[in-house]
Structure 1
């Protein structure tokens, strides 16, 4: 079918999009790539259509009239067709409204001389007649004569250039005549069969999530599902809680099947009555109850503050099963677990598997949130240390915890004295600005050229809450001048935002000391805040190796394929041993952790046999070799006191688990530099990686915050 015919059929109500299709999600770069391929006459895929006399619920306001007879539905290719319609016609297709187009591509321009495609840039395009809006070409608002005439007003235009422009315009104008290869489902197919085919087609690609495919199946037996879920999303967004449809599908899976991984459980029409009943309860009672609880008890005012919204699902499932009848103590325990799930990033990877485990505990445990907290504790220490703030920016979940804590204290804006929870109107939107102005720090070397110093300038311990108006008036005042003014005007405001009140630390040359002191204050106060929410009952949780692998690499877990066997080179590579040592030293210098050898970072079990063979031995020889490496590089005392080795078997393969305790003294790793000289490097954990702190002054500062003062010689 030609592209122009597709557009015409949409306008003539002969081609529709079923409601079970997901929304328009293509980003502007996707559209640019599509038109680039069309101009170059590259293949752009196929569309899957279904001709039927009995269409399911349709997307948009359009209703099917039986008098129309058979109509076509787009089952696959909707994103491309929507983009084509908008660019060719300059309008949103009838099955969408303007508000539903998140990434509007209609200001896509083309350079008719080079065929370069770009979205409108005023400085680049405004006075350059070679840049033409694509829609204007397709709508015949601009043609060859217009372009050349405008060009000649400012320059000589050679015949060669005119021929080139004419040829390029023909390529663009030919796009509506391009054929879209079409595959069709026969008219005799039922709605259920059409959705099954849609599912099979899309599971072969990477475009749709499992939740989106599940929602398509649900819409097949409950046509109103997508519209009802979208209506709820709008209502929640008005209250500050912004989610996508995937989130609500996970909620349905959780409350109906007590899991988070197998979306196929929702595919069967046997779910229909239960899912309608479950949604009614969620919509009318449970969701509003949980989000009101988060706002009033956890001080979470909007989802922008949440690192992972999926931590809300176990709480929703619990409230659903308890019919919203949570005791005050249960609410406090849920809140406490939620906070830790954020700062310890429980749901940053392996989401379905973690939801399986956590929801399973919620529906079976007598004290579910204590048990869930014990799982987090088994993965990583709960206590917040001052060094965790080092170089951490506003996107880190610790920043959200700071905000929730400040709200719980009744913190106020430093400059206006207004509560940070109060709705103050547009002029008083809250912003997080530097206490020590970045402009002044930049002059002292805290710029992008020194990434560690730059990170400290942006660190959350150098941030305070200000209204937008106050922020602009504050500008680049010296920190001691500004903070003195704040203290005089609002004496309690600094303490309420955990800002050191020692005026000696407010001097610009005391910036590092200020950060160090505020890190300590925040670590102490946040730990106290979390501990005082409620007392948690310790439950013994020891994660299996399989569960650790499912977690994936994180702050306290590293996976390595081997100790010394290079799988790419199929031979021994002793430099890999140095990587192992680097990881061990980073764990020591941070919060401790586990290193598993014999598993690659994708979670594939490789085992240790190649390492064994390279040492002409077995597990004992491997263990002795590894301990010798650690002892020789660091110390025998460290190897015996801080290192624990075990050799579990997973999928018939022996692997090595290296458990490293958090060190009480810093350790440096000796390596050869590019000149062959031995140098000492200092590694720490940042996220799921071991990174070097390069500058000696930064190392000293980190050690002061992480270890006792007497560890520095």
Structure 2
């Protein structure tokens, strides 16, 4: 079966379809990211008669309306947005929204004598041999423009100028290839076709296609919803963007969405800076109790999964439901409460979190439990536990979408605590804590989720930094302190050990830099002798610890075996084994206290 059609269309026809809404530009890639020189090159290619590639559209299915009539589906542009936007800017003279969300005009100049295009600049504006803006020339009267040009440049060949300008004005008559994908294709097939056709190797995610469906809709407020998703994610990273929305998008500034996200204008928290894919996934999964974004695309198109038809009523309800999900996500109380819960588990810094999907699903758990009326204390425990459980088990590190779909259906069918207990019994047995986790700590990757969870457990317990009396691990992490080696790196390196050996995470500890300098590159036996001497003599040369009890307590909270105080190079393998077990024990105790 033919899955698509390929046709050549005049540029002016394509642009008229964009203007009328027959082709919807969903802004998958969102703002216009081409620089002006690429627009100039596109105009030159068209003028020279060079091919400029294909644009790809996916036809929305025809939808049954409530009155029984049929509504013809729009074509949704899924590739070629930048080229189409460049054409509307250069040929029609329309504004574009650039990557900093500013409305700008891109003016391309043309020299009919040299038949050359250039981005308009002050020098060109002063040079009479240049037409400063081709959009004005293309929409103007050929004979009038030739006459004016020759009056300004009396020495030029009028026939040459007339010929050049005639070819310029024929740019809208040039053809562009349109690949139109069939409306009954599923997302997986559309993605596969897109990848095979697209020579740039760009891969669109399922969230991109969902965004295209949202943005292409004008009937149920999808275009505004798209802005809400986009603007929230931008504001979360750049609060100063708030004023830009006020100044440049007064229509959106008057919406309920904008009122609900105003709190971000003075927010600098960076623990969870969602991208639009995260926001769509959380809003959809929490509201629809489904995890596959292909289902969202179908529902927004009005798909009736039983009759396999498309109905306007289903599309309307789906947009309303998704809107609720987005509003729940961006709600200040929800967002801040969720972050407070994550921080209360010890994950106080974005550098402790390496799984955005673990955060996403933890937020889904929070939103669903809140919607179900579960009490606040139980929500806190459940969200903390699930978040740490999913990190320790790498639950969303593989096919996250399938796992989202499975988990959300489970927690929609049974009490959350019951499902969590099932997962703990299956995945966090004694064998996990005593063997699997210990083995997982045998790595040199400092961003290992197990090491980051260990650090979170230290934050949760209020532990002090290694050999510190007053400075906590939390302080060192928050203030971007450094990770140092218990068996000093230079000491091990000089002894012939390679990077994977001396950089073991069981050899890592958060330590004040000034203490690390005192430790130097000595064997543990030697630098601990200094520590013990300072306690005996009361001179505090290495750290602030001044009693044996304080030293022993500090070793315990950092999971450093007391045997280290008498260790040298030969004891390093034994030290690593001892510390891994202590770290795993601490994480076990931490988890069940969450």
The TM-score, its normalising length taken from structure 1, stands at 0.47
Query: Hey, what does 1:444 align to over in structure 2?
Result: 495
Gaps of 5+ in 2: 1-10, 59-74, 89-94, 103-117, 124-170, 196-202, 238-267, 303-314, 532-541
Classify the secondary structure of the residue corresponding to 2:365: helix
Query: Hey, what does 1:21 align to over in structure 2?
Result: 28
Counterpart-to-counterpart distance in 2, 1:26 and 1:442 = 47
Counterpart-to-counterpart distance in 2, 1:500 and 1:516 = 10
Contact 2:365 2:383 in 1 (8 A): no
Classify the secondary structure of the residue corresponding to 2:482: strand
Post-superposition shift, 1:338? 2.3
Post-superposition shift, 1:377? 4.8
TM-superposition CA deviations, 1:327-384 (whole Å, max 9, x none) = 4345324322322211211112122221111111211212232234345359984555
Taking structure 1 as reference, are residues 377 and 500 closer, same or farther at Cα in structure 2, changes over 3 Å only?
closer
Classify the secondary structure of the residue corresponding to 2:560: coil
Structure 1 residue 403 corresponds to structure 2 residue 464? no
Query: Hey, what does 2:132 align to over in structure 1?
Result: none
Structure 1 residue 183 corresponds to structure 2 residue 177? yes
The TM-score, its normalising length taken from structure 2, stands at 0.56
Structure 1 residue 507 corresponds to structure 2 residue 568? yes
Alignment of 1:109-188 (within 5 A): 182-183=176-177
Selected match of 1:516 from 574, 577, 583:
577
Classify the secondary structure of the residue corresponding to 1:204: helix
Selected match of 2:209 from 213, 216, 219:
213
Query: Hey, what does 1:418 align to over in structure 2?
Result: 471
Classify the secondary structure of the residue corresponding to 1:331: helix
Gaps of 5+ in 1: 51-71, 86-92, 101-135, 142-176, 187-192, 448-453, 534-713
After superposition, the CA RMSD in angstroms is: 5.1
Query: Hey, what does 1:686 align to over in structure 2?
Result: none
Which is richer in helix? 2
Classify the secondary structure of the residue corresponding to 2:272: coil
Contact 1:75 1:198 in 2 (8 A): no
Post-superposition shift, 1:471? 8.1
Query: Hey, what does 1:95 align to over in structure 2?
Result: 97
TM-superposition CA deviations, 1:171-200 (whole Å, max 9, x none) = xxxxxx9x99723599xxxxxx99x99999
Classify the secondary structure of the residue corresponding to 2:381: helix
Alignment of 1:71-86 (within 5 A): 76-78=79-81
Counterpart-to-counterpart distance in 2, 1:357 and 1:198 = 19
Taking structure 1 as reference, are residues 399 and 234 closer, same or farther at Cα in structure 2, changes over 3 Å only?
farther
Taking structure 1 as reference, are residues 522 and 330 closer, same or farther at Cα in structure 2, changes over 3 Å only?
same
Higher relative contact order (CA 8 A, sep 6+): 2
Query: Hey, what does 2:521 align to over in structure 1?
Result: 477
Post-superposition shift, 1:295? 1.3
Structure 1 residue 260 corresponds to structure 2 residue 291? yes
Query: Hey, what does 1:649 align to over in structure 2?
Result: none
Aligned length: 404
Post-superposition shift, 1:461? 0.8
Classify the secondary structure of the residue corresponding to 1:227: helix
Contact 2:441 2:580 in 1 (8 A): yes
TM-superposition CA deviations, 1:566-607 (whole Å, max 9, x none) = xxxxxxxxxxxxxxxxxxxxxxxxxxxxxxxxxxxxxxxxxx
TM-superposition CA deviations, 1:512-561 (whole Å, max 9, x none) = 2221221121122222222344xxxxxxxxxxxxxxxxxxxxxxxxxxxx
Query: Hey, what does 1:430 align to over in structure 2?
Result: 481
Query: Hey, what does 2:336 align to over in structure 1?
Result: 288
Alignment of 1:613-632 (within 5 A): none
Contact 1:433 1:466 in 2 (8 A): yes
Query: Hey, what does 2:200 align to over in structure 1?
Result: none
